[in-house]
Amino acid sequence: MLLLSHFYSEINSEPDKFYIMNIHEYQGKEILASYGVRIQRGIVANNAVEAVAAAKQLTAETGTGWHVIKAQIHAGGRGKGGGVKLAKNLQQVEEIAGQIIGMQLITPQTSAEGKKVNKVLVAEDVYYPGESETSEFYVSVLLNRATGRNMIMYSTEGGMDIEEVAEHTPHLIFTEEVDPSVGLQGFQARRIAFNLGLSGNAFKEMVKFIDALYNAYIGSDASMFEINPVLKTSDNKIMAVDAKVNIDDNALYRQPKYAEMRDIREENPIEVEAKEVGLNYVDLDGTVGCMVNGAGLAMATMDLIKYAGFEPANFLDVGGTADAKRVETAFRIILKDPNVKAILINIFGGIVRCDRVAQGVVDAYKNMGDAINVPIIVRLQGTNAEIAKELIDNSGMPILSAVQFQEAADQVKAALS
């Protein structure tokens, strides 16, 4: 399943990784089921033996004879990488689960190294024969930041790379915006079912499905629910066969049971370490490390780096405190990225005085010794900025100072040229 990424980026002004918590498919389905959404049932297994036991239990509970073995990682497109396979008997369940668990799964949404699979979902086969043909649909719920309204995006072309559908047949993608003052209305759910070409019991089932899905999205404080595919079974039931769910990080304080779903093995280890020490850090793909105070200044600093002709290596907000210990911690985290070739410190001295920040930078540099092997450019503006610049310039440390944005950009360019 692939995220409709370019549509999502167009209607959201900030990268989604800045404010979401990803969860596994089986966890997303647990949330859906708790709101009355029909799901493809499954049981999680950590090894091949557990997978066989799960298959036996599913057969007893659902009557399914075949089982789908699905790798559980935080990435879409698992089937293309060999992470989703059908097992027609218990021997195949054991063999396939043994092959998938422990593998480095590479998909269109992972890095070249892929992600290690630690568990699989053993799911029931829902493509059984019946009175009609099965049909697959795409349905997602997310926030349209441009309009300030939640939006249901859907298509008859479920199960496919939805990006391809958007590029080649955009007329097959529909949207339904929801007025937050009144919520999802019955006529909207019926319009979705109608546009998907459904009738009879399948139509009624889809109306219920959409209503329950939207309630799950709102109730869980999600930033996105993406179901691809939503299946119309051969006996005209509507169910979620897959589930990609992102929970808004800012709402986790009121969603403790969802906060417990976090799997740090799936997250960037540097980001996890930074979070543990209270730093707001997001790993990026560039070569210039960023240390700033304030999210707005961080975004401006990344623009500054791009203006200089380079790419930011991270988003790191040290907050209102920038003493020697905190700066040193930030240095060590940034330098764990081997791609970093220079570090730009851009601090506005409002709550914290610039001279204290400058002294913190100098002390941190002295404490770290040879651990810092890349150029450091420091731009301090605000209270006592001139004193701060003198401290940096007279420190005897190989630290470059700047006052204006353009000057900082020039320093970065000179250091990396």
Check whether 77 is labelled as a binding-site residue: yes
CA distance 204 to 207: 5
Please give the DSSP secondary-structure letter assigned to residue 66: S
Residues 187-190: contacts with CB under 8 Å, at least 24 apart? 188/152
Alpha helices for 220-312 (secondary structure H): 256-259, 269-276, 295-307
Residue 227 β-bridge partners: 139
Check whether 242 is labelled as a binding-site residue: yes
Check whether 78 is labelled as a binding-site residue: yes
Structural element, H or E, at residue 8: helix 5-11
Check whether 351 is labelled as a binding-site residue: yes
Tokens of 44: 């999680």
Check whether 306 is labelled as a binding-site residue: no
Place of tokens 């593998």: 103
CA distance 213 to 226: 10
Check whether 352 is labelled as a binding-site residue: yes
Please give the DSSP secondary-structure letter assigned to residue 339: T
Check whether 346 is labelled as a binding-site residue: no
Please give the DSSP secondary-structure letter assigned to residue 132: S
| Closest to 271 measured CA to CA, from 337, 340, 217, 360 | 337
Backbone angles phi, psi at 160, to 5 degrees: -100, 170
| Closest to 317 measured CA to CA, from 336, 337, 339, 302 | 302
Instruction: Centre a 10 Å sphere on the Cβ of residue 37 and count the other Cβ atoms it contains.
Output: 25
Check whether 350 is labelled as a binding-site residue: yes
Check whether 126 is labelled as a binding-site residue: yes
Tokens of 409: 């950009």
Beta-strand ranges (E) seen in 156-283 are: 173-178, 222-232, 238-240, 244-248, 280-283
Residues known to be catalytic: 138, 226
Residue 404, Cβ density class (10 Å: 0-12 exposed, 13-18 middle, ≥19 buried): exposed
Check whether 89 is labelled as a binding-site residue: no
Check whether 70 is labelled as a binding-site residue: yes
CA 241 to chain centre: 20
Residue 29 β-bridge partners: none
List binding-site positions for Mg(2+). Answer: 228, 242
List binding-site positions. Answer: 70, 77-79, 126, 136, 228, 242, 293, 350-352
List binding-site positions for substrate. Answer: 293, 350-352
List binding-site positions for ATP. Answer: 70, 77-79, 126, 136
